[in-house]
Chains A and B, each alone.
Chain A
Amino acid sequence: MSGAVLRVNNLQTQFQTRGGVLKAVDGVSFEVGRGRILGLVGESGSGKSVTGYSILGLIEPPGKVAGGEVLLNGKDITRLKGDAMRQVRGAQIAMVFQDPMMTLNPVLKIGTQMIAAVRAHDKVSRKVARSRARDALAKVGIPSPEERLDAYPHQLSGGMRQRVAIAIALLHSPAVIIADEPTTALDVSIQGQILAEVRRLADETGTAFVWVTHDLAVVSSLADDICVMYAGRVVESGPAADVIASPRHPYTAGLLASVPAEHEPGTKLPQVPGSTPSLANLPQGCAFAPRCAKAGPACTTTPPVQHFEDGRTALCHYPIEPVSCQPLSLTSTTYRSAS
């Protein structure tokens, strides 16, 4: 896939703390093509959100991007400073955050916030900016957008607010939108609507999405590709359907097994034992080894990246053998495009 819009190469993000350097993101690589949706999956603390912020250059001290590249249409943006980086944000790479209750300023009208977002990159009159804002609201399926422009955030529901946030992200038709768990705070029914909307937008506008989430069900129904992160590293990647159907990394397999959807009622739900290790105190070698049923003597050394067919990878000494069975579906709905 040389046509990648966004390519992340060996990204390193570190936080300087009193206890030493924390490697929140440790050599993460992935790429997203035009109109594709990449699911970046992991537990809390796996570094998936920090990856999102690092791409946009929004890491604040004491954190910093310590190495690697973020190539946007082939151009490295990690070295951009100040105003040059500001011009990328919102215009070429936009972001949507987790909690729609917090991402809109409660004391400013929706219109005011959207007009500011338009005028951050295009020197147009307020009137033009307002009509563009209205069009963006209509595009994400918000009824009577003109009236919504004069509303305050608290007058809209959570789902509506998240649509507004997505509309703001879409204002400048960015090449990439990074979505940081945008449906986590929403009802399942609203979540479904938003996912369908996002899939449609990716297909129609060609915008690439990096969908950061801990919810495998969401990823399985939405994403084209998956990256599973654990303790700051990508442990498994590949086409979403393949990874879900036949995980190669024990951690992915453990996560999939603990999704309740396919589980037989009345029996105990399997779970991944233990919890995410602290970044300050990572185990030697494979960070997942202490929780892993398949761990062997080799796991005290850093695992190699194993490449498989169809461009799949796993960071493991003892990858699981592929199974050939019915593709597994975690939810009854799928938003993945036919392509």
Chain B
Amino acid sequence: MIGFLIQRVLQALMVVIAMSIIVFLGVYAIGNPIDVMIDPASDQALREALIQRYGFDRPLFEQYFIFMNNMLHGDLGESFIYRLPVLNLILSRLPATLELALTAMLIATCLGIPLGLWAGYKPDSLSAKAIMGFSVLGFSVPSFWVGLLLIMVFAVELGWLPSGGRGPTTEVLGMNLSITSLEGWSYILLPAFNLALFKLGLLIRLTRAGTVEVMSSDYVRFARAQGLSEGKVVSLHVLKNISIPIVTVFGLELGSTLAFAVVTETVFNWPGMGKLIIDSITVLDRPVMVAYLILVVFLFVMINLVVDLIYGQLDPRIRVKAAS
């Protein structure tokens, strides 16, 4: 177990280093940020001074090592635009995205798994076909359009929920959260549902496919021959056997939701990380872009590490392989 953990952490480290090089080179290739930062009318001396101040006159590898050295000391640079340390800037936006993404995943899981189980348990029923039809809509209709539609119906026509923004927040454990109040929930509900729709469709299909497969297996037949009730067959045999693909997709989706909730955050004017990165790209705020991408890589690596550890808990056969 420990050996497995060390191996995975080392792998994760390699991925982070490789990604930092790719990100750094990629951002370097898009050009000199000084031209964007300063007034085109300013003189050459000011230009030179700024280039020197930010170290753009040094060789590329030297710039990279300075960047890595700073990063290891927790310094990801300072935003050109906001004049704030990048890390603080991103972390200040993190709670908003975090609560939005987690609420969306919660909605998708709590609806998707039961619906998928039902659709897989009674695959020929009318309700199962309706669920499958809904799931196709869920991941094929573009989310910006659904977002606009949700605003039109629930905010404009019915007037039940606010059309955007984040609402009041309270500070919990140093993070500003809006899910602590009822009014906060009214703000998060629409964007979270919008964000959940794609994952909901995905989880329904995944759960259904697994359920259909497990229900026709010999061990389910054997369990029925033992006189186990249908409820017990599903809760004991089906749920555990279908959980591995579900956990995999859950992990990947959680990562991508945290990193790329951009469209939903823009439509609902949600002040999260996605909006920050889009704004930074438009103004070529290089430190924010680099730091954000590195953070995303770190996030994905961590989530996958946790997913791998959960695998071992779910399937004893994987545990054996890892140990040997």
Q: Give me the interface of A with B, judged by CB distance under 8 Å.
A: 56, 58, 83, 86-91, 94-95, 97, 99, 102-108, 112-113, 116-117, 120-121, 152, 154, 165, 168-169, 171
Given contacts A107-B241, A152-B316, contact A58 B228 (CB under 8 A): no
What sequence of 0s and 1s flags, for each residue 208-237 of chain B, a beta carbon within 8 Å of any chain A beta carbon?
000000000111011111111100100011
Q: Nearest-CB distance from A120 to chain B (Å)?
A: 5
Q: Give me the interface of B with A, judged by CB distance under 8 Å.
A: 217-219, 221-229, 232, 236-237, 240-241, 314-317, 320
Contact of A97 (CB < 8 Å), options: B222, B227, B232: B222
Point out the residues of chain A lying under 8 angstroms from B237, CB to CB: 105, 108
B contact patch SS: helix
> Are A104's CB and B241's CB within 8 A?
no
Given contacts A102-B217, A107-B316, contact A56 B222 (CB under 8 A): no
> Are A116's CB and B228's CB within 8 A?
yes
Q: Nearest-CB distance from A85 to chain B (Å)?
A: 9
> Are B227's CB and A120's CB within 8 A?
yes
| Interface-centre pick from B224, B237, B315 (highest chain A CB count, 10 A) | B224
> Are B240's CB and A107's CB within 8 A?
yes
Q: Nearest-CB distance from B236 to chain A (Å)?
A: 6
A90→B225 CA distance, assembly (Å): 6
A103→B222 CA distance, assembly (Å): 6
Point out the residues of chain B lying under 8 angstroms from A86, CB to CB: 227-229
Contact of A106 (CB < 8 Å), options: B223, B225, B236, B317: B317
Point out the residues of chain B lying under 8 angstroms from A169, CB to CB: 226
Point out the residues of chain B lying under 8 angstroms from A97, CB to CB: 218, 221-222, 225
Contact of B227 (CB < 8 Å), options: A87, A105, A152: A87
| Interface-centre pick from B219, B315, B317 (highest chain A CB count, 10 A) | B219
> Are B222's CB and A165's CB within 8 A?
yes
Nearest-neighbor residue (CB-CB) of A172 within chain B? B227
Q: Nearest-CB distance from A297 to chain B (Å)?
A: 45
Q: Nearest-CB distance from A109 to chain B (Å)?
A: 8
> Are B320's CB and A94's CB within 8 A?
no
> Are B221's CB and A121's CB within 8 A?
no
Point out the residues of chain B lying under 8 angstroms from A113, CB to CB: 223
Point out the residues of chain B lying under 8 angstroms from A83, CB to CB: 229
Contact of A104 (CB < 8 Å), options: B222, B224, B240, B316: B222
> Are B224's CB and A89's CB within 8 A?
yes
> Are B225's CB and A105's CB within 8 A?
no
Q: Nearest-CB distance from A167 to chain B (Å)?
A: 12
Point out the residues of chain A lying under 8 angstroms from B236, CB to CB: 105, 108, 112, 116
> Are B225's CB and A89's CB within 8 A?
yes
Q: Nearest-CB distance from B61 to chain A (Å)?
A: 49
What are some 10 contacts across the A-B interface (CB < 8 A)? A86-B229, A95-B222, A97-B218, A103-B221, A104-B219, A105-B223, A108-B236, A112-B236, A120-B228, A152-B316
> Are A99's CB and B218's CB within 8 A?
yes
Given contacts A97-B222, A104-B222, A108-B236, contact A121 B227 (CB under 8 A): yes
Contact of A108 (CB < 8 Å), options: B227, B229, B240: B240
> Are A120's CB and B221's CB within 8 A?
no
Given contacts A89-B226, A108-B236, A154-B316, contact A58 B219 (CB under 8 A): no
A104→B315 CA distance, assembly (Å): 14
A87→B217 CA distance, assembly (Å): 22
| Interface-centre pick from B222, B228, B232 (highest chain A CB count, 10 A) | B222
Nearest-neighbor residue (CB-CB) of A91 within chain B? B227
Point out the residues of chain A lying under 8 angstroms from B222, CB to CB: 95, 97, 103-104, 165, 168
Point out the residues of chain B lying under 8 angstroms from A152, CB to CB: 316-317
State the 4 A-B residue pairs at the shortest beta-carbon distance, nearest first: A90-B227, A102-B218, A90-B226, A95-B225
Point out the residues of chain B lying under 8 angstroms from A99, CB to CB: 218
Point out the residues of chain B lying under 8 angstroms from A117, CB to CB: 223, 226-228
A103→B228 CA distance, assembly (Å): 14
Q: Nearest-CB distance from B219 to chain A (Å)?
A: 4
A116→B317 CA distance, assembly (Å): 21
A91→B229 CA distance, assembly (Å): 13
Given contacts A116-B232, A116-B236, contact A107 B225 (CB under 8 A): no
Point out the residues of chain A lying under 8 angstroms from B221, CB to CB: 58, 97, 103
A105→B223 CA distance, assembly (Å): 9
Nearest-neighbor residue (CB-CB) of B222 within chain A? A103
Point out the residues of chain B lying under 8 angstroms from A87, CB to CB: 227
Point out the residues of chain A lying under 8 angstroms from B225, CB to CB: 56, 58, 89-90, 94-95, 97
A209→B316 CA distance, assembly (Å): 34
A334→B237 CA distance, assembly (Å): 39
Point out the residues of chain B lying under 8 angstroms from A121, CB to CB: 227
> Are A120's CB and B316's CB within 8 A?
no
Nearest-neighbor residue (CB-CB) of B220 within chain A? A105
| Interface-centre pick from A58, A88, A106, A168 (highest chain B CB count, 10 A) | A106
Q: Nearest-CB distance from B233 to chain A (Å)?
A: 9
Q: Nearest-CB distance from A58 to chain B (Å)?
A: 6
